[in-house]
A and B are shown apart, each in its own frame.
Chain A
Amino acid sequence: MIIMSMRSQIYEWNSQTGTAATSWTNANSGNSVSIFIGGFGNNITKPAETTATQFVVIEDVAVSPTAFLVSGTAAVGTYYRGLEEGGPVGGNGVYGNRAYIQIRINTTDYFLDPDNVGNDGIPGAASPYPRSTDFQPCFNLYPDVYVLPGQVFDALVTCYQNGAFADAGTAPAKESSQLYAFMKYTLYDGPDALIANKLLEMGISINPGNVDWYKRTLIQSQSAPAMA
């Protein structure tokens, strides 16, 4: 068995994976849905949480992009750079799902509006997944989000555009109009989680480089000759 106490991890969510009963439909627009246990697309078996010996650092979140054009000039179902125009009859000039992704730790939403009210999170237009030359990020999650031992964490997707999903198009377009979300995080386990806690106490950013630096410091202090 290989023991790796510090691991880069990812989670990708696709709203259309699974059975027809669990595929995303227009009825879900406007609702925030967990990418882990929301009941749509691919899910996991239990809420995402850290054990007493784990520490998670979320480093990136992204969701399907959106493009903004002109309403009333193209029929609903028209495609722009792989994104479908949905919305009301006649089109509203929004291409794609108009999706957002929010991080929740226990019961607290991470992203707030300036009036301190929780918002929908990062727009897919700012942090697109997948990235391309057409859809580039203008947001990076810095400082990172820390999930301390024993906390539950979640990523919630909300979208506000009907008709831009797989059920609206034919085969090639279907694929491009799916709703995706992506999370990149680092899992610190065992001794590395203890070091991560120590770094947090010391006010040092938790990343693999700093965890390694702390280990080296410990080794150096142990191997230093005893003072006379």
Chain B
Amino acid sequence: MRSQVYEWSNLAPSGATSSLRRTVDAVPVDVPVNREYDIFIGGIGNNITKPAETTATQFIVIEDIACSAYLGGALQVRINTTDYFQNPDVTDQAGVPGLASPYPRGSSDKAVADALTDSVQLLKSFDLYPDVYVLPGQVFQILYSLQTANTSTSATTVVAAFVKYTLYDGPDALIANKLLELGVTINPNNVDWYKRTLIEQQQRSRVAATATNGGSA
């Protein structure tokens, strides 16, 4: 059971649009407007080698998402083919705006040159609670989109996104599944509680077996 993070930005080596590893002095690249880009394999900025997915022995709980607060940036979570955030009429939406969950926290809502002197320090007005569960074998995407162009003739804006999640692996993933069946929230405390319950049950059965055998184990 491990706390994990993933940070994406539209920074890539000069002349490229994406890279697998971060590179020194990378430069910002254009992110076309009103399109959703997977921050893992979207082909812009730093990417990973394959779509984000859980194996049969993994369980992921996404606990926080955040992105740059300017240019109308927003983040959507997609599990397999289903978008998590929807409008009340069940139509598609861009997801959580960067203004509601800014990254970095305390950053400004402007990225233009006069931001060098502005004093806006945004706080979050969104908390991803309840958390989002990614069950074993599911594919998940974090989709970034912006509404205003980040590139002009002379300048390109750096945009970034951030995901915090907990990865449950092996026996902890089995316990997470069991908690899901029981309708109990999956978090490290509850996984520990379930482990303790199992240990106590084993101890009770051992004592009962000893008593049944007339005091000999």
A residues lining the B interface (CB < 8 Å): 29-30, 65-74, 78-80, 86-88, 92-94, 98, 100, 110-115, 117, 119-123, 125-126, 128, 132-139, 141-143, 158, 160-162, 202-205
Contacts and interface: CB of A to CB of B under 8 A. Distances in A.
Nearest to A89: B25
A66 B162 CA distance: 13
Given A94-B11, A114-B52, A205-B189, A70 B155 contact: yes
**Candidate in A30, A66, A70 with the most chain B CB atoms within 10 angstroms:** A70
Contacts of B17: none
Given A115-B52, A121-B5, 7 more contacts: A68-B107, A73-B113, A74-B113, A93-B111, A113-B6, A128-B104, A205-B188
Given A73-B113, A92-B11, A122-B5, A138 B157 contact: no
B199 A114 contact: no
Contacts of A160: 22-26
A66 B104 contact: yes
B184 to A, nearest CB: 15
Contacts of A142: 3, 188
A59 B7 CA distance: 21
Interface residues of B, number: 58
Contacts of B111: 68-70, 93
Contacts of B140: 114
Interface string B110-122: 0111011000010
Interface string B137-173: 0001000000000000011111110101011000000
B4 interface: yes
B213 interface: no
Contacts of B156: 70-72, 93
A115 B50 contact: yes
B121 A162 contact: no
B74 interface: no
A153 B157 CA distance: 38
A70 B160 contact: no
Contacts of A122: 5
B208 to A, nearest CB: 18
A112 B4 CA distance: 7
Given A29-B24, A115-B52, A126-B162, A80 B116 contact: yes
Nearest to B192: A203
7 contacts: A78-B116, A88-B27, A93-B28, A125-B160, A126-B164, A160-B24, A204-B196
Contacts of B164: 126, 138-139
**Candidate in A66, A112, A139, A202 with the most chain B CB atoms within 10 angstroms:** A139
A66 B9 CA distance: 12
A135 B105 CA distance: 6
B104 A136 contact: yes
B107 A67 contact: yes
Contact of B158 (A30, A93, A112, A119): A93
B162 A138 contact: yes
A125 B7 contact: yes
Contacts of B53: 114
B35 to A, nearest CB: 20
- State the 7 A-B residue pairs at the shortest beta-carbon distance, nearest first: A203-B195, A114-B52, A136-B105, A68-B158, A125-B104, A136-B106, A72-B155
B105 A137 contact: yes
A29 B159 CA distance: 21
A141 B105 contact: no
Nearest to A201: B199
